[in-house]
Amino acid sequence: EAGVAQSPRYKIIEKRQSVAFWCNPISGHATLYWYQQILGQGPKLLIQFQNNGVVDDSQLPKDRFSAERLKGVDSTLKIQPAKLEDSAVYLCASSLRTGQSKGPYEQYFGPGTRLTVT
Amino acid sequence: AQSVTQLDSHVSVSEGTPVLLRCNYSSSYSPSLFWYVQHPNKGLQLLLKYTSAATLVKGINGFEAEFKKSETSFHLTKPSAHMSDAAEYFCVLLSGGYNKLIFGAGTRLAVHP
């Protein structure tokens, strides 16, 4: 089966510019996650969607970051305006669903988008 | 508070020797724990998972991990390292009821000929 797709793979922008990342999850996966991985650290969850509703966005810097998942499939993560500290790899993951009644459900990760802000 | 601590940021071994990557966790609940591997320019891949069944968990590529509640540890081992094992390894704790993952800082494994 096809994995999680992300684009672009690399992006270089100047501070105060805006940028958008795209993610296409595995077909049939209801839950989609965006993570930020700063160099030398483990990934940190930014936002989690269940279908097209937000389950958790407690660690999303809402003054500059936004995300949407229209129609419960593809998702876009946007940063506007970017700061130097936003330089990181942005990972998208998906799982069949969330909750633990029959889980946990394995999360499958995409290859990530490496963002460099200069 | 729930957290994961990977005790070594870098581990270096010779090919054919054992691998030990150490992980301690803190959790108010009975934990579910995972090890993920990340090769350069590739996505994270699940190695193995512990979900309150057998305490010794076997994963892919000859890796295994042992859950020790008394020590709050979940160390990853492999009897004989291969060059292809060189990668970043993450110990991960499942948090709450919404499949939220808490990652450790990672351990970079280097394998020398």
Contact B49 A91 (CB under 8 A): no
Alpha carbon distance A20, A17 (integer Å): 11
pLDDT digits (tens, 9 = 90+) for A37-64: 999 899 999 999 998 899 999 999 999 9
pLDDT at position A102 is: 54
Residue among B44, B97, B104 whose CB faces A109 most closely: B44
Using the predicted structure, report yes or no on whether residue B2 has a pLDDT greater than 90: no
List pLDDT tens digits, range B15-65. Answer: 999 999 999 999 888 888 999 999 987 889 999 999 877 889 999 999 999
Instruction: List the one residue out of A14, A2, A5, A1 whose CA is nearest residue A91.
Output: A5
Q: Is the peptide bond before A104 cis (omega within 30 degrees of 0)?
A: yes
Mean residue pLDDT across chain B: 93
Interchain CB contact of B14 with A (< 8 Å)? no
Copy the structure tokens of residue B89.
Answer: 């390894």
CB-based contact, B2 to chain A, within 8 Å: no
CA B59 to chain centre: 10
Q: Which residues of chain A have pLDDT under 50?
A: none
Q: Identify the residue whose tokens are 């995972």.
A: B34
